Amino acid sequence: MAERKRPGDDAAGDRPEDEAYTDSDIQDDVAEVADEPVSRGGDKADRAAGGVATKEGRRGGNRIGGFFREVVSELRKVIWPTRKELLTYTGVVIAFVTVMTTIVALLDFGFGKAILATFGN
């Protein structure tokens, strides 16, 4: 059965034509950012016609929406495990927890018997 190709599998074979930005794009962005006013938080200052920040800008009305957009964007970058990998990892975790629980239960039983034998009822 052929392996399914997932995002990020060809990271070792990164090709220059795959780059999203060129050097000139980055230099243009730096020039644009330098001209814009910056608020205390480091964000671009939202100014109304009179030079005063609007109510929406002060309350951060778009910050929550922007946060969730960024979360969704980051989740799209995640390389999710295949069903086979997921079942394997789940089996390993269940086996490990079972073994550790057995070890702790046996130690508890042994120490309990030792204490009762030493100090009696």
CA distances for 14 relative to 10, 22, 79, angstroms: 7, 15, 17
Q: What integer pLDDT is reported at residue 43 of this predicted model? A: 54
> How would you write the pLDDT of the chain (121 residues) with one tens digit per residue?
556 666 666 555 555 555 565 556 555 555 555 555 555 655 555 554 555 555 545 566 688 999 999 999 999 999 999 999 999 999 999 999 999 999 999 999 999 999 999 998 6
**Residue 16 in contact with residue 8, Cβ under 8 Å?**
no
Cβ neighbourhood burial of 46 (10 Å; 0-12, 13-18, 19+): middle
Helix residue ranges, H only, the chain:
23-35, 55-59, 63-77, 83-119
Q: Compute the residue count for the chain.
A: 121
**Residue 4 in contact with residue 82, Cβ under 8 Å?**
yes
Q: Which residue has the tokens 């930005």?
A: 21
Question: At a CB cut-off of 8 Å and minimum separation 6, what does 100 contact?
Answer: none
d(CA 109, CA 103): 10
Q: What integer pLDDT is reported at residue 6 of this predicted model? A: 65
